Amino acid sequence: ADVKKEYAQKCKGSIASYERAKKVIPAGLEHNLGLLNPYPLTMKTAKNASIWDVDGNEYVDYLMGGGPIILGHKVKEVDDKVISFLENYGPSTGLTCESEILCAEEIAKHVPSVEMVRFLASGTESDLLAIRLARTFTGKTKIIKIMGSYHGWSDQMLLSPDRPGTGNGHTSGIPKECYMHTIEVMPNDFDGLQRIFNENKGDIAAVLAEPTGGHAGTFPNHPDWNKTLRKICNDNGAMLIFDEVVTGFRLGMGGGQEYYNTMPDITVMGKIITHGYPSCGAVGGRREIMSLCHPGGLNGKSAYTGGTLSANPISTTAGYHSLKCIEKYHAIDKASDYGDLLTAKLNELFATRGDLPFFAYNIRSIVHVETACPSGTFLVKDSRNVSDDEQKLRSKAAEDIYIALMNEGVLLLGDCKRMYTCMQHDETTMNKTLAAWEKVISMIPA
Ligand code: PLP
């Protein structure tokens, strides 16, 4: 079946909008999450766990804004607080606002390793500050990054974000010198990690890692990996930085560090902490580390931080009230229960087609659907053994499945068929999702 043709029929409004956008916006879209589509969807409205495009098509939404939404779309309890703030103050004053303190208190209350919080405008900036703090605190330079993980689009961190082992970056325009102090290790390569520390004695400032494994668990961690990172950092006077931009307030109120029972020195946050409101990013940690953000610093050391819209009162108002709602409505557990059920049901469905190497796995409300590797081989998806041609085939198959699901009214994160669940997904969305997958796999010849 020509899934793109069907898509083009259903999405004429989105296509017109895309053609118009292309004249003034490079590539016709700003948000890279829409890149996989032949014609990026233009959305019209969203509510609970659903989204409607300009053509009136309804989708069960598992993109969830790329991760920030766990309460569902349009939460009146949060939106009313933001509107009331706007009516009283307008969007920005540059002065401290109570919501900033409340939001920082709320984060510090829940995230076990965090005593103090500095807000920034994005996850990318927050990763940058975390690295700067680690270097300032330790007086060391090099940062170890796990291949296949994403820590924003800064010059020093955009190495091998998608295919571990290939050394491929996303982009041109980064002089190789920018990676001079970034050392990469393959996921779950315990010996390689030790070797890097041995070869760079006294020079490793930090290991930066997603506690799930790269890209929210697309490259899942060995069960001992996080604890090993913690130990090797302790043994070598390096900082452990957890990038909890996705996992913060998604795996639990205490994030991935609580879920995996491993405490980092520095925590990077984003996404859920402002429930999709801009600007969104934060760094947290122990007082002795975070105090270095002060312009006067600590003992003469100071990690400079800027940002006109950092700690913007709209974002911290939304942040404080949405974190309160997440706790009050048990949003994390509800989204996770749905994630568990969806994973089990998808695997039941895939098992009805024994010839397809499809399987689903989840880390609470982060559901991954693998459509390329044989079941059981996912622990390290080592792209070094995958030829460029094979990779192209995999990407093409993934794209077709993604579009076919969209034709059936189910929206995923395009790149790796990740699905974020929220507390508003229910029996109706489950039934629609399973029916869509059933139809899509029936389209694949035996
Ligand atoms: N770190 C992780 C783990 C992410 O998933 C992302 C974004 O998806 C970032 C950092 C960058 O955050 P932002 O897009 O807010 O710059």
Residue list, ligand 1 pocket, CB within 6 Å: 66, 122-124, 127, 150-152, 210, 243, 245-246, 270, 281
CA distance 380 to 163: 11
Mind listing the pLDDT tens digit for each residue in 362-413? 999 999 988 764 333 333 344 455 666 666 666 667 778 888 899 999 998 8
Q: How far is the CA of 245 from the centre of ligand 1 (A)?
A: 6
Report which secondary-structure segment, H or E, holds 208: strand 204-209
What is the C-alpha end-to-end distance of the chain, expressed in Å? Answer: 14
- Residue 352 CA to ligand 1 centre (angstroms): 36
Band the pLDDT of 357: cuts 50, 70, 90. confident
Report how far residue 272's alpha carbon sits from residue 249's, in angstroms, rounded to the nearest whole number. Answer: 6
Q: What is the pLDDT of residues 221-261, one digit of tens each?
A: 999 999 999 999 999 999 999 999 999 999 999 999 999 99
Torsion angle of the four alpha carbons 140, 145, 151, 154, in this order, in degrees rounded to the nearest 10? 60
Ordered domains of the chain (ranges, CATH) = 3-71+330-442 (3.90.1150.10), 77-328 (3.40.640.10)
- Ligand 1 center to 118 CA (angstroms): 16
* Ligand 1 pocket mutation, candidates 146, 246, 247, criterion most atoms within 8 A of CB: 246
Q: Is 303 helix (H, G, I), strand (E, B) or coil?
A: coil
Q: What element of type H or E holds 47?
A: strand 43-47
Q: Stretch 69-86: mean pLDDT, rounded?
A: 97
- CA of residue 402 to ligand 1 center, whole Å: 22
Ligand 1 mutation target, pool 32, 131, 245, most atoms within 8 A of CB: 245
Residues 417-437: tens digit of each pLDDT: 789 999 999 999 999 999 999
pTM of the predicted model over 0.80 = yes
Task: Check residue 53 and give its pLDDT.
Answer: 96
Q: Which two tokens stand for residue 58?
A: 């309804």
Taking 60 as the threshold, does the pLDDT of residue 280 lie above it? yes
Other CB atoms within 10 Å distance of the CB of residue 183:
20
Euclidean distance between CA atoms 223 and 278, whole angstroms: 34
Neighbours of 296 (CB within 10 A): 8
